[in-house]
Amino acid sequence: MPNKKSPPKRPRPKLQSAAADPTAKLGALPELVVDNADLPATAADLSQRLATSDTLFQRGASLIKLVKKGDVCSILPFNARDVVNYTHAVCQPVEKKIVGGELVSKPVTLPATVAHLYLNRHDAWAVQELDGICRAPILADDGSIRLAQGFDPATRFWCVGVDTPPIPERPSEKQAKQALARLRSAFLTFPFADAVTTMKSRSGKSIDSGQPPGLDESAFLIGLLTAVCRPSLALAPGFIIRAPQFSGAGTGKGQLVRAIARVAYDIAPNPFTSSGDRSELDKRLTAALVEAQPLIFIDNVNAEVLRSNLLAQIVTENPCSIRPFRENTKLVHIPTNAFLAITGNALRVSEDLARRFLIVDLDAGCEDPELRSFAHEFGATIQNQRRELLGAALTIWRWGRRNDIKRGLPLGSFEQWSRWCRDPLIALGCTDPVRRIGDIKRDDPRRAQLVEFFALWHDLYGDRAVKIKNLDIRLRMLADPQGSGSRQSLASFVANLAGTRAAGYVMIRNIPTGVWGTSTYAVKKTE
């Protein structure tokens, strides 16, 4: 049987090993020597390499990366996998080995241990701190305007998409009034609750622009100017746009917030809702703060009494302290330069938020506002007129900064905001929205409960001091209407009211003299 010829053997390609040519992958990037005997030193060296990245920043106590897609920027946490990716973009990790009697560099992937050691160098990252993403001109107290792109060391903002139309260097009062008229003209069809209206077309009622702005329209215009100025302001109040409970859908609350975002920042905001749970709201607020976007929009807060210690802190503290997720024992300080807007039907705020928010009420005057028709698509109209509207807002702001104008009512913590945003519009004929704070407080059910409690106490006992155990059962039930009305709950309620003033009353606590003495309390009139 003939032998079958085996096919000729093909020569195997010669594989060039890293040992044979250790520089095959080197040369394009500088080396980062991974010293397995001293990995912390490698992490320290890596800190200097990554500090040159233009998209890696520190925010609060965390590293974040800036993700850019055209004019859209977002912030994401910087994790161990990101450390590896960023490292190989700026340098080549290598291990030093002796091969054939020579010291050569062998390319390696950055070890995970080095990545985690780097992330734990909280005091030595050497990267820039980022206060937020800015999409508005940077303003100064003297009325000057500065445009920036990319990272701005002076403000620690990442500036993107910032532009502004030309405005007068020193606007006259006439020019400021024309600018106000231009702003008003864009929102004449919105049903501000107290506006003087006129039947203008088949679309329905329109604001009578011949009349000065009412309280609700004024509050909105001040909110619009606040958004334009917000990145340059240390503090500013938040804004609530609300409508009646059953006929508030479709009144245009969200449209107004989106118009503010478009004019001030040329963006469409990403709203989130309130679940009604305070702890869940705080989590969502924390996440929004970390994202560092120019606007925080809480939508559909319906039939709630808004309460949040974090919300109050965001408005009146910059930076404010937050607790990162899954870190129960850690607080970090984070800047709060975002414009804060909340919408809802039948929304009320608790007294601790009353001075921190200005309210715009809408009322379409009909049962089904969503069925109204309009001649033009509002969002597209605002988009087309954006630069003109932004120029009008900045003209009003600069006129206020470069002239001696009428001042409004004082509002603690917001002195700069008052001078920049509220006072120029008041001087041009708008109504001061600070006047509404008293009404907001009166609408707070907790304050109403307190006023009723003080009034009943004084009716029962006058100015006489009383021990808690001797108080009338009606006071116990009023202090804890949802509970048992026990003496313990009443004692806690009364003790927390010591020194409180409301509706012309003040709670006085008389400290006992002996070790085992019992405190007594009196409610006295202050007026």
Q: How distant is the alpha carbon of residue 251 from its chain centre? A: 24
pLDDT tens, position by position, 53-97 = 999 999 888 899 999 887 889 999 999 999 999 999 999 999 998
Q: Which of 234-238, 240-244, 286-290, 426-430 has the lowest mean pLDDT?
A: 286-290
pLDDT at position 513 over 90: no
Q: Which of 42-56, 127-141, 243-257, 289-303 has the lowest mean pLDDT?
A: 243-257
Mean pLDDT of the chain: 87
Q: Across 72-76, 100-104, 364-368, which has the greatest mean pLDDT?
A: 72-76
Give helix 386-401 / helix 215-229 axis angle, nearest 10°: 90
- Give the pLDDT of residue 376: 64
Q: Which of 151, 120, 123 lies closest to 55, judged by CA? A: 151
Domain boundaries, the chain: 31-129, 173-442, 444-525
Q: Across 68-72, 228-232, 326-330, 489-493, which has the greatest mean pLDDT?
A: 228-232
pLDDT tens, position by position, 388-412 = 999 999 999 999 999 999 888 888 8
Domain formed by 173-442, architecture: 3-Layer(aba) Sandwich (3.40)
3-state secondary structure 340-386: EEEEEECCEECHHHHCCEEEEEECCCCCCHHHCCCCCCHHHHHHHCH
Collect all residues with Cβ–Cβ distance below 8 Å to 339 and sequence separation of at least 6: 226, 227, 230, 236, 239, 260, 264, 294, 295, 296
Q: Outline where DSSP puts E strands in 389-519.
A: 466-467, 501-502, 505-510
Confidence of residue 328 (pLDDT cuts 50, 70, 90): low
pLDDT at position 292 over 70: yes
pLDDT tens, position by position, 193-209 = 999 888 765 556 789 99
Amino acid identity of residue 176, one-letter, is A
Q: Which of 59, 43, 32 lies closest to 127, judged by CA? A: 59
* Residue spans of alpha helices (H) in 230-373: 253-265, 278-291, 309-316, 351-354
Q: Phi/psi zone of residue 150: left (φ > 0), alpha (ψ -120 to 50 degrees), beta?
A: left
Q: Once rounded to an integer, what is the mean pLDDT over residues 146-164?
A: 93
**Cα 49 from Cα 282, distance rounded (Å):** 37
- Give the pLDDT of residue 332: 79
**CB of 157 closer than 8 Å to CB of 73:** no
- Give the pLDDT of residue 12: 45
Q: Which of 150, 144, 128 lies closest to 63, judged by CA? A: 128
- Give the pLDDT of residue 344: 94
